[in-house]
Amino acid sequence: MALYSFVLLVLLFFAAIVHAADLYKVLDLHKSASEQDIKKAYKRLSRKFHPDKNTDPGAEDRFVEVAYAYEVLSDSKKRDIYDKYGEEGLKAHEGGHQHHANPFDIFSQFFGGGQQSQQVRRGPTSVTEFEVSLADIYKGASIDFMIKKRVLCDHCRGTGAASDGDIHQCSACGGSGVRLVKQQIFPGMFAQSQATCNECGGKGQIIAKPCPHCGGAKVGEHTATYTLEVPKGAPEGHEVVFEGEGDESPDWEAGDVVLRVRSRGEKGGWRRKESSLYWKETIGVDEALLGFERNLTHLDGHVVTLHREGVTQPGYVQTIKGQGMPHFQSSSYGDLFVEYNVVLPIELSSDTRRHLAEAFYGKDGSRERDEL
C-alpha cells in the first residue's frame, strides 16, 4: 500500500482513539459477548471495511475503529479494565502512554499472510435456495432466518479436552502423528514405511479427560439467527454471501453460507420475467364489448388504473409502462403486461341485456329505426 495511504490510516487510527465510541458497539456486540463472538465480529467487519476492498467514504475510519476494538476486547486483561474503568482506565493502566498495534498488522495476524494463509484449510461452503415473495423483491426487504450449524465448544475452545492440562503428547509416536512400520520382504531384509499412529489417530496428542460439555467432540450444535437483505429488483438467483458463517471446526477455517434468492409465485397471478411483471385480469362479456375502468392493487399496495375503451379481445395483452419490477441497482422500472381473460356467462342477466341493447341500439331504439 502506498506510503500516503499508510500514514493516513495511522492518523485515522489515533483520531479514532481520541474520539472513541463504545468498543462493543463498534463490533455490534453486547457486553456479554464471548471470545468467539468477538473474533467472529472482527472477522466480518474487518473484511467488510478493509481499504483494499471497500472504497466507500468512512470505510477506512471504520476499519481502524474495528481493529482497535478487537485489540482491546480480545485481550482478557485489557477487556476487564475497559469494562470497569473505560478507556481512561486503560490509559492509566499503561501510564498514560498507550501503545496501539497497527490495524494492518492485526488483520494480517488474524487471517495469516503469504504462504501461511494459503495453507489454511477452508471448510465447506453451504449454498441454499431461499424463496422470497415477489412483493419483497419489488419493495426490498430484511428477512430474518435461522441456520443450524456446528460451532466450536465454548468450554474447550475446540480442543476436546476438559482443560489444557489434559492434553498430552502421544508417547507412541512422539507427537509426530506417524509411526515407522517394519515389514519383512525376504529373510534378513526389511522395509520401513510410515503409517498413521493408531494411538492418537495421527493427531500427535492424547486427551486424558474429554471436555464435559461436548464429550470430546470439540464442536456442538448451535442455531444462529441472521438477516437477509433483499435489494429491490434482485435478479433470480441473486447470491448473498455470509462470510465465515459455515460449520466450524478446529481443523479448518469456517466456510461461507450462500443464500441464492428465488421468487415464489404470488396469489392472484403475479409473475415475473427479469424486469417485467405479468398479471391476468378477468373481465365480463359486457366489459369486453363496452370498455371498463378498474383498479389493480400492485405488489407494494399502490393502485394502478386499468382502462379500456371499446372491444377487448380475449387474450389481449395491455402494456403499462414503468409499472414492472425495479431494475436491479437502478431507479428505473420495467413494464407491466396485463392479459385479459373474458368470461362468458351461462345466461345474460336483465341488466346486461339492457346495457348491450343500449350500446347497440341506443336508449330509445332510434339506431335500429334509422337503419331500417
Position 9 pLDDT exceeds 70: no
Contacts (Cβ under 8 Å, ≥6 apart) of 366: none
The pLDDT, as a whole number, for residue 114 is 46
Position 365 pLDDT exceeds 60: no
Per-residue pLDDT band for 69 (boundaries 50, 70, 90) equals confident
137-160: average pLDDT: 85
Per-residue pLDDT band for 89 (boundaries 50, 70, 90) equals confident
320 DSSP β-pair partners: 336
Contact between 121 and 251 (Cβ < 8 Å): yes
The pLDDT, as a whole number, for residue 4 is 47
| % of the chain beyond a pLDDT of 70 | 78
Comma-separated ranges of CATH 1.10.287.110 domains in the chain: 3-119
CATH topology of domain 271-371: HSP40/DNAj peptide-binding domain (2.60.260)
pLDDT digits (tens, 9 = 90+) for 251-289: 787 888 889 998 886 666 788 888 899 999 888 887 888
Cell for 337?
403486461
The pLDDT, as a whole number, for residue 363 is 57
Position 63 pLDDT exceeds 80: yes
Phi/psi for 319 (5° steps) reads -100, 125
Distance separating alpha carbons of residues 358 and 290, to the nearest angstrom = 10
The pLDDT, as a whole number, for residue 92 is 73
Cell for 308?
379500456
The CATH number for 121-151+219-264, chosen from 3.40.50.720, 3.30.70.2520, 2.60.260.20, 3.40.190.10, is 2.60.260.20
Comma-separated ranges of CATH 2.60.260.20 domains in the chain: 121-151+219-264, 271-371
pLDDT digits (tens, 9 = 90+) for 326-357: 998 888 999 999 999 888 776 766 776 676 66
The pLDDT, as a whole number, for residue 18 is 40
The pLDDT, as a whole number, for residue 335 is 93
pLDDT digits (tens, 9 = 90+) for 301-327: 899 999 998 888 888 999 999 998 999
Structural class in CATH, domain 3-119? mainly alpha
pLDDT digits (tens, 9 = 90+) for 95-122: 655 556 677 777 766 665 444 444 557 7
The pLDDT, as a whole number, for residue 211 is 87
The pLDDT, as a whole number, for residue 11 is 45
Position 21 pLDDT exceeds 70: no
Distance separating alpha carbons of residues 275 and 126, to the nearest angstrom = 28
Decide which of 360 and 27 is more confident: 27
Average pLDDT over the chain, rounded to an integer:
78
pTM above 0.75, yes or no: no
Find the range with the poorest average confidence among 29-33, 186-190, 213-217, 366-370: 366-370
